[in-house]
C-alpha cells in the first residue's frame, strides 16, 4: 500500500524541530519616539542641575555677605586683618590706613607701609589716589568709622538726625568725565533720639563698609569722599581702603 504525504503533513512534522528565526522589527516611528523621550529626559536633568547650582550659588553668596556684614558690625579689627591677608596672597594688592584728613578733598589722607598697610604688584598710592596698573578684575573695598557728637538745630524741635555718607570715587582715562562718579557709596542716619536723651551721653559710633568687584583699566584712579570726613576715626582697624586683583 503506497503512503502519500502532503505538504501539510510535512509542515506539521517539521514544526517542532525548526523554530521561526524571523523576529518582529520595530517600526521607525517607535524608535523616533524613544530617542525623543531620552532627549527630553536629559534636557530636564540639565535644567534641574542648573537650577540647583543657581540656588546653591546664591545661597552661598548670601551667607558670605551676611557673615561679612556681621563681622563689620562686631569685629572690625578681624575683618581688616582678613582683608589684608587676602590681599597679600594675590599678585597685585594695596591696603591703606588713614593718617589724618584731607580737607580739600573731604577724605582721609591715606598712607602705606604702616602697621598692616602695604602695596605690591604695581598698585600704587599717588596723590591720595589708588592708581590701577593694568586692565583686570579687582575687588575694591573701604571702611570709614565715625565718632559723632549729636547736636540739635533750631528747626528740628530737639531731634538731631545726622546723615552720614561715604563713597569710593572713580576716574578713568578710557571714559573721562568732569562729573563725580562713584563705584561704591553708602549712607547711614545717626542721632535719631531726642537731644535731651543724648546730652550727657558719649559720642555715637557708626561705620560704613563698602566692597565689590569691578572691571578696571590701566590708569584708572580711585579715591574716597565723605560728607562728615572731620568725624572719621583714624584708627587703622576702623578706617581703611584697599584693592586687590582677582
The predicted structure's pLDDT at residue 71: 46
Beta carbons of 130 and 221 less than 8 angstroms apart: yes
Sign of CA dihedral 219, 98, 77, 151: negative
Burial (0-12, 13-18, 19+ Cβ within 10 Å), 194: middle
Which are the contacts of 84, defined by CB distance < 8 A and separation ≥ 6? 95, 116, 118, 242
Indicate the class that CATH gives domain 76-245: mainly beta
Confidence at 207, pLDDT banded by 50, 70, 90? very high
Residue 144 has pLDDT above 70, yes or no: yes
Residues 45-71 have pLDDT tens digits of 665 655 554 454 444 444 444 444 444
On the question of pLDDT at 92 being above 80, the answer is yes
pLDDT at 141: 96
Residues 6+ apart with CB under 8 A from 86: 244
What is the model's pLDDT at position 50? 58
The whole-number pLDDT of residue 56 equals: 45
Per-residue pLDDT at 145: 94
The reported pLDDT for the residue numbered 51 is 54
Break the chain into its structural domains and give their ranges.
26-74, 76-245
For residue 198, the cross-strand partners are: none
Report the alpha-carbon distance of residue 232 to residue 211 in Å, rounded: 18
Distance CA 95, CA 123 (A): 10
Cell of 192: 535719631
Residue length of the chain: 246
Per-residue model confidence (pLDDT) at position 176: 82
Phi and psi dihedrals of 182, rounded to 5?
Answer: -115, 130
- Overall average pLDDT of the 156-165 stretch: 72
The per-residue pLDDT for range 108-131, each reduced to its tens digit, is 999 998 888 899 999 999 999 999
Distance CA 178, CA 176 (A): 7
In the predicted model, what is the mean pLDDT of residues 206-228? 95
- Average pLDDT for the chain: 76
- d(CA 25, CA 78) in angstroms, rounded, equals 73
Would you state the pLDDT for residue 48? Answer: 63
Indicate the Cα dihedral angle 71, 72, 74, 78, nearest 10°.
Answer: 60
Check residue 203 and give its pLDDT. 81
Neighbouring residues of 48: CB distance < 8 A, sequence distance ≥ 6: none
Q: Which three cell numbers mark 38?
A: 531620552
Q: What is the mean pLDDT of residues 181-203?
A: 76
For residue 74, pLDDT over 70 is answered with no
C-alpha cell at position 103: 580737607
Amino acid at each position: 500500500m503506497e503512503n502519500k504525504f502532503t505538504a501539510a503533513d510535512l509542515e506539521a512534522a517539521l514544526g517542532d524541530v525548526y523554530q521561526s528565526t524571523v523576529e518582529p522589527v520595530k517600526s521607525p516611528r517607535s524608535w523616533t519616539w524613544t530617542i525623543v523621550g531620552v532627549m527630553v529626559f536629559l534636557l530636564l536633568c540639565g535644567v534641574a542641575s542648573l537650577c540647583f547650582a543657581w540656588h546653591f550659588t546664591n545661597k552661598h553668596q548670601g551667607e558670605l555677605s551676611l557673615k561679612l556684614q556681621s563681622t563689620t558690625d562686631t569685629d572690625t579689627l578681624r575683618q581688616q586683618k582678613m582683608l589684608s591677608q587676602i590681599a597679600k596672597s594675590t599678585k597685585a594688592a594695596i591696603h591703606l590706613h588713614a593718617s589724618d584728613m584731607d580737607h580739600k578733598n573731604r577724605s582721609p589722607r591715606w598712607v602705606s607701609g604702616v602697621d598692616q598697610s602695604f602695596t605690591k604688584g604695581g598698585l600704587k598710592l599717588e596723590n591720595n589716589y589708588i592708581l590701577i596698573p593694568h586692565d583686570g578684575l579687582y575687588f575694591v573695598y573701604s571702611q570709614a568709622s565715625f565718632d559723632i557728637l549729636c547736636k540739635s538745630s533750631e528747626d528740628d524741635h530737639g531731634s538731631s538726625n545726622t546723615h552720614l555718607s561715604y563713597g569710593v570715587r572713580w576716574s578713568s582715562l578710557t571714559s573721562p568725565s568732569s562729573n563725580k562718579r562713584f563705584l561704591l557709596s553708602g549712607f547711614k542716619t545717626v542721632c535719631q533720639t531726642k537731644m535731651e536723651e543724648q546730652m550727657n551721653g558719649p559720642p555715637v559710633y557708626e561705620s560704613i563698609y563698602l566692597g565689590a568687584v569691578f572691571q578696571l583699566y590701566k590708569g584708572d584712579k580711585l579715591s574716597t569722599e565723605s560728607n562728615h570726613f572731620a568725624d572719621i576715626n583714624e584708627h587703622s582697624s576702623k578706617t581703611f581702603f584697599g584693592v586687590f586683583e582677582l
